[in-house]
Structure 1
Amino acid sequence: MNLVSMLGLPFLACLLLSLVLGYLGLHVVKREVIFIDIAVAQIAAFGILAAHLFLGVPGNSIQTLLFGIGATLLAAIFFAVARRKTTQIPLEAVIGITYAISAGGVLFMIGKGTGGHTHVQEMLSGALLWVKPRDLVWTSAVLALVGACFALFRRPFQRISDGYDEAVAAGMRVIGWDFAFYALCGIIITLSVRLAGVIVTFCFLIIPATVSALFSRKWGVRLLVAWLTGAVSSATGLLFSQWLDFSAGGSVSLFLGFAVAGSALIAYARRRHQK
């Protein structure tokens, strides 16, 4: 009973992240924008720190969260236009440059204000073990709405993810659809980072999707594999953290790493056997 009371809410939080980020990760891997998570998290941190340090908005409040989401919406416009209009530079390079600039802004604000170091530490590592029921409920509600938008627009999103140039040739309004995708992506990542930290969010976004890509090309199968990978890694990681009194976020990330390493070995052995 003590184990359930201690790990129940963190496990539910991890399942929530697995469901949402597992699906989003399929698109991210397909679009080859792997570091979108870190860039968006840094942009959100820039908005949150600016609101907190310069406008006096209380930290960890809804107001600062809205400033963070607002910053990611501006980034969504930029990424959508950059992908369509900037043909000489890969979007991943644009994302990397955006990350570097926003990180520089965050470091500047940390040096100018007080309390910035604490916020950055919380943003990186998260606090899975201290998730509150209230935070989990309202985060789930918002992510459910975002998930409904993904379900509603799944066909154009998948078409662009499967082939951007083909979507352009077919006459799709790719800038508008890309803005919608990156805007929803920004909301998801901002809320996920607030719940679990950048490192755990990045692992849930990329690793389950990578594992699924090793075994199937079908969206439905890949989604199930991604969800299963996230759920099993969450359960084993949290139990491991409790057993050895280890960081919950670090432990879950570690077991997600074990999952992708083991899956790569299995996929390699299967290809060797088929030859």
Structure 2
Amino acid sequence: MSALEILWPVLALTFVMVGIHTLFGLEILRRGVIFTDLAVGQVAAVGIAVSSAFLGGEHQAILSLVFSFAAALLIAYVSRHSRHIEAFIGLLYAMGASAVMIVLSQGSEGDELFKRLMANDILFVGSGDILQAVGVYGVICLLYWGLYSRLSGFVRELFFFSLLSLMVTTSVPLAGVLVVFTLLIAPAYVALLQKRFIPVYFGWMYGWGFIASALYLSYRNDWPTGYSIVFVGTFVTLLIVLWLERTREVKKR
């Protein structure tokens, strides 16, 4: 079996994931609430952990969605009423991470599930998972482009964070919290720093580039797929950001 035959399902999934996550990542960076997705994803993971530890894995999607929507509601409210929203989001993430560990400590497979929640091995994702994710992402995009710009005030904030929570709830079981965070922030970060191309298009191309590289390295070296995406994406992004910032400083002189 060739590498392409093994990798095409995860390539297809991550291709779609980069598309929608970059779109939301640009909005997150412009709002200055960088760790929102990380916090929402971690709280969504609490729902998955509760399902696994106490309900035998049943109602996982519903519990994850309920937990993430609760986090989205809190963040939407705080974004309108607090001067220190990043502090609130950081504490929400810490609470979610500790809650996951406490819940999973009740079962015998807690450590393994925690690793999957952080960065799942999406190399073995099935075609049914891909089709389901594509369907949900498609609905999210239609709602975002069709309604978001028409809203205002708290309703606009709640609508955005609710869509974000739905997207994160869909992505975390497939890829893990850290992969979702990387796909949201890394392409958008580089896209906003460069000035030559339209940010969303550049972010898509950049995200697809490092995803393909990470999957190839993972396949060739037998690395964990999820953690390979996180490492390659963050490592390359940090190098590019340092180079772009240095170039900008030189031009100012």
The answer on whether the counterparts of 1:83 and 1:91 sit within 8 Å (CA) in structure 2 is yes
Q: Does 1:185 align with 2:164?
A: yes
Secondary structure of the 2:105 match is helix
2:49 counterpart letter in structure 1: L
The count of aligned residue pairs is 252
* Cα RMSD, aligned residues only: 2.2
Aligned-partner Cα distance in 2 for 1:3–1:51:
35
Aligned-partner Cα distance in 2 for 1:46–1:53:
10
In structure 2, do the counterparts of structure 1 residues 258 and 192 end up closer, same or farther at CA, with 3 Å as the change threshold?
A: same
The answer on whether the counterparts of 1:7 and 1:238 sit within 8 Å (CA) in structure 2 is yes
Pairwise CA distance, 1:52:
3.4
In structure 2, do the counterparts of structure 1 residues 251 and 115 end up closer, same or farther at CA, with 3 Å as the change threshold?
A: closer
Name the counterpart of 1:265. Answer: 243
Pairwise CA distance, 1:127:
1.5
Name the counterpart of 2:190. Answer: 211
In structure 2, do the counterparts of structure 1 residues 241 and 146 end up closer, same or farther at CA, with 3 Å as the change threshold?
A: same
Aligned-partner Cα distance in 2 for 1:102–1:234:
27
Corresponding residue to 1:231 among 208, 217, 230: 208
Name the counterpart of 1:131. Answer: 125
2:65 counterpart letter in structure 1: I
Structure 2 unmatched runs, 5+: none
TM-score calculated relative to the size of structure 2:
0.91
Which structure 2 residues correspond to residues 1-275 of structure 1 after superposition, within 5 A? 2-54=2-54, 56=55, 58-59=56-57, 63-87=59-83, 90-155=84-149, 172=152, 174-216=153-195, 221-256=198-233, 257-266=235-244, 268-269=246-247, 272-273=250-251, 275=253
In structure 2, do the counterparts of structure 1 residues 270 and 111 end up closer, same or farther at CA, with 3 Å as the change threshold?
A: closer
The answer on whether the counterparts of 1:211 and 1:259 sit within 8 Å (CA) in structure 2 is yes
Q: Percent identity?
A: 25
The answer on whether the counterparts of 2:41 and 2:168 sit within 8 Å (CA) in structure 1 is yes
Structure 1 unmatched runs, 5+: 158-171
Aligned-partner Cα distance in 2 for 1:266–1:81:
35
